Structure 1
Amino acid sequence: MTHSPVTVAARVRGAAVGALTVALATVAHAWASGAAPSGAGVILLGVLAVTVGAIAATAPAATTVPGLLILLAAGQLTGHVLLAASGHRHVASATSDAAMLSAHAAAIVVCAVLVAVAGRLGEALSHAVRAIAARVRSEPPPAADTVAYSADQPLQATLALAVSKSHRGPPVAAH
């Protein structure tokens, strides 16, 4: 079995899927019961977030919308079971089980599409940045064609050069 390193994009996808799983479960149960989960429920949701995030970061199927749908749906179902096991109960409300199930399903679809689109956008953006960085690195440094001299007193320097010319020497006709 070969081991491939987890890329930064996979880690970000895993963190997003784990966080979305817990956020959806927390919001849905807080809405249904009137109170956010606390105590053991929060700890169990944290373990769920790490587990689902690790699966999303390492499973090749988690890069596709169907794979993300399955992973997020399993996370929601597991979150519901964990919260029920920790004593977090729903109160009787006007929302039916069908309405809650359809809200979960819609949220799962939206989140799966958003994570998949963000992954594709991240890939495109990283390819563009790599192409630009490679082009910038491959350009040679600008040629030094012009030489600039600076002097505090350029006119004085020119005058000093003109005065320093010696006119002494053998006569021209002596050659």
Structure 2
Amino acid sequence: MAAGALTAALSVSAHGAAGGGPPSGSSAALLALFAVTLGAVVATIRTAADIKVLVAVLTVGQLLSHALLSAAGHSHPSAAGAPFGLMVLAHLGAIAVGAALIAVGEHLCVAISRVLTARSRHTRHPVAAPSTITVRSADQPLQSARLLSASLSHRGPPVSLAR
């Protein structure tokens, strides 16, 4: 997701610096959708933490986001903007720095995750199984026996009539 967010941030800042201002409306929505899509695609790449892969992804992302903003009608006046060579150098520098920061961040996250995983394994204490107590005899009858005896009727016809 960092690659998508960085691509969108670089695109917005580059177009703003070139005199175009920030995108609005449909341009901003398309750029956000593109950033999320790019981030999801990068998340599926197994070697995404490699600096070469990140440079390639960020370069393609910059080119596609520039084309997206241009197609959406977001343009900047060329007279007020920076010269073409300076703009390309600024993009390449931002791509290189961004790729390095993302790669370092990925390696730091992996290292921190390993430390936390190792630390959590050592601090676990086994839980003692609860002891079970079995009652073999009781002074009181079982509740089911009491309910059964209470439900039986002891009434009947008088004994003198039954003989």
- Which category describes the TM-score, using the shorter chain as reference length? 0.7 to 0.9
Q: Deviations over 1:62-117 (max 9, x none)?
A: 12100000001100000100100111112112620110110000000001010000
Gaps in structure 1 of 5+ consecutive residues = 1-14, 142-175
- Quick one: distance in 2 between partners of 1:78 and 1:134? 45
Greater relative contact order structure (CA < 8 Å, 6+ sep): 2
Report the count of equivalent residues: 127
Residues 49, 100 of structure 1: CA spacing in aligned structure 2 closer, same or farther, 3 A cutoff? same
- 5+ residue gaps, structure 2: 129-163
1:46 paired to 2:29: no
Q: Is the 1:16–1:53 contact (alpha carbons within 8 Å) kept by the matching residues of 2?
A: yes
1:26 maps to: 12
Contact 1:61 1:68 in 2 (8 A): no
List, as ranges, runs of 4+ consecutive aligned residues in structure 1 with deviation greater than 4 Å: 138-141
Q: Find 2:120's aligned residue among 123, 133, 147.
A: 133
1:128-147, Cα deviation, whole Å (9 max, x unpaired): 11111111115899xxxxxx
- Give me the TM-score of the superposition, normalised by structure 2: 0.73
Pick from 47, 68, 77: which aligns with 2:63? 77
Q: TM-score, normalised by structure 1?
A: 0.68
Counterpart code for 1:69: V
Q: Distance in 2 between matches of 1:138 and 1:98?
A: 62
- Report the equivalent of 1:148: none
SS in 2 for 1:89: coil
Letter in 1 for 2:66: H
Identical residues among aligned pairs (%)? 41
Alignment partner, residue 76 of structure 2: 90
Aligned Cα root-mean-square deviation (Å):
1.7
Rounded to whole Å, the distance in 2 between the matches of 1:72 and 1:94 is 22
**Superposed, which structure 2 residues align to 1:93-108 within 5 Å?**
93=80, 95-108=82-95
Greater helix content: 1
